[in-house]
Amino acid sequence: MKAQNVISGQEISRRDLFKAAALGAGAYMLSGPLGSSPAHAAVKEEKWWRAGENWVNTAQYKKKPPYRIAAFCSYLEGTWMSMYTKHIEYEARVRQKDLVKELMILNASTKIPKQIEDIKDIVTKGVDGIIVDALSPTALIPVCREVMKKGIPVVISKNTLDSDDFVQLANDDGVGFGIHGGKWLAKQLNGKGKIICLRGIPGYGVDIERYEGATRVFKEYPGIEIVGSEYGYWTVEKGKEVSKALLAANPKIDGAWTAGGQMARGLVMSLMEAKRNMIPIASEDENGFCKLWKQYHSQGLEAIATAKPVWQGAFAVQSLLWTLQGCSVPHRVIFPAAAFEYKDLDKYLRPDLPDDVWLTNTLPEDILKEMFKGR
């Protein structure tokens, strides 16, 4: 199957995309100091990018380094967010330490009003540029618009915003994530069967996009019936809890679509405890789920692991620093959904690392092992 790269217009296989993601495709794979012209020239050659009308002239934001920057995260719980923020920290405080004099990371704890107030507070205190992991694609529009009007560049990272009030929005293809898993599941079920869906956080842009993509596929198959859908909040514990309830309420379940690997792991645990047969599960590249997948594959556990790369944190830092140096950047960057199936599992699985490691990370091995030391 081919995936259309919306930035370059090139077609690349999904397998190649996943390999690229695992190696840190996009700007993060570039070497050399960000502030140097060779590094910026190399970016323009990246396959994720396309020069033309999509590029933004950032001359108005140019200022002398070092910079004071802030990243506003929707939440920090769970290792996906820990690894995402670690990529932000490593990029800003290590790789680009000559350009960044201060990095602030703020946690909204899934509270939209708090994220809005945090942004207003930091902007009032003084900041050169901000990265926003928007909790809502609509509620964050006014504050991002206000910040941009003050001449402070906004980079939207790993999430979406339903306006153009940013210098750059860079995100993976959430709808494509849902479509990819949905198509795989429909094929596994030969177009018919009773399924359950485990979603993320209510109202969260990533969850909305992924579920939209999956249900778009399921509508094409009248024989597929969603018998239950619950929010697992991207945690193993909540995923297991809602899975138990769904299993108890539905004696027959033929498959499952999930918006995240943690919840899929909770589902497998629930199936084991209930002594139910394994079912095909559309999941994600969480190490713990992948370990269970390998363990129970001989007992009928079929799966697919689609990825939302944690290296997007580093990508956002690079884009913001390019902007502050007056280098043009693309207004919108979409990383196509990438996934792997069982035949490629051993290429990505990390039995030596904890369950909650995400396999599409580009952290140096020593940083990665130190981060999970003693786990």
Q: What is the largest CA-CA distance in the chain?
A: 64
Shared-domain flag, residues 198 and 289: yes
The predicted model gives 84-94 an average pLDDT of: 97
Q: Could you give the dihedral angle defined by the CA atoms of residues 73, 79, 84 and 88, in that order, rounded to the nearest 10 degrees? A: 90
288, 307, 326 — which closes off a domain? 307
Same domain, residue pair 294 and 159 = no
Question: Are 167 and 295 in a shared domain?
Answer: no
Q: Please tell me whether residues 120 and 106 are part of one structural domain.
A: yes
Q: Is residue 333 part of a domain?
A: yes
Q: Are 83 and 363 in contact (CB under 8 A)?
A: yes
What is the reported pLDDT for 278? 98
**CATH number for 223:** 3.40.50.2300
pLDDT exceeds cutoff 60 at 167: yes
Q: What is the pLDDT of residues 21-47, one digit of tens each?
A: 333 333 333 322 333 222 222 222 234
Instruction: Give pLDDT, residue 329.
Output: 93
| Backbone φ, ψ for residue 51 (5° rounding) | -70, 150
> What is the helix (H) or strand (E) element at residue 178, kind and residue range?
helix 174-188
- When pLDDT is averaged across residues 139-148 and rounded to a whole number, the result is 98
Co-location of 178 and 241 in the same domain? yes
The residue assigned the tokens 């002594």 is: 275
Mean pLDDT over 248-271 rounds to: 97
Query: Residue 267 and residue 247: Cα distance in Å, rounded?
Result: 9
Residue 208 is predicted with a pLDDT of: 93
Residue pLDDT, tens place only, 281-335: 999 999 999 999 999 999 999 999 999 899 999 999 999 999 999 999 999 998 8
Residue 16 domain flag? yes
Mean pLDDT of 52-69: 89
The answer to whether residues 200 and 206 touch, using CB atoms and an 8 Å cutoff, is yes
Predicted confidence at residue 29, as pLDDT, reads 30
Residue 7 has pLDDT above 60, yes or no: no
Q: Average pLDDT for residues 112-140, to the nearest whole number?
A: 97
How high is the mean pLDDT of the chain? 86
The token pair that represents 316 in the structure block: 């956002």
**Residue predicted with more confidence, 50 or 155:** 155
Query: Are 142 and 239 in a shared domain?
Result: no
Same domain, 301 and 317: no
Q: What is the mean pLDDT of residues 125-131?
A: 98
Rounded to an integer, the average pLDDT of 47-74 is 82
pLDDT attached to residue 184: 98
What is the total count of domains within the chain? 2
pLDDT-above-70 percentage for the chain: 86
Shared-domain flag, residues 195 and 142: no
179 lies in the same domain as 93: no
Residue 206, domain extent: 174-307
**DSSP-assigned states of every residue in 5-47:** -TTT--EEEHHHHHHHHHTT-GGGG--S-TTSHHHHHHHTTST
Q: Are residues 55 and 85 in the same domain?
A: yes
Per-residue pLDDT at 251:
96
User: Is the pLDDT score of 350 beyond 60?
Assistant: yes
Residue with tokens 């004696």: 251
Q: Reduced to 3 states, what is the DSSP secondary structure of residue 45? A: coil
Query: Average pLDDT in the 150-164 region?
Result: 96
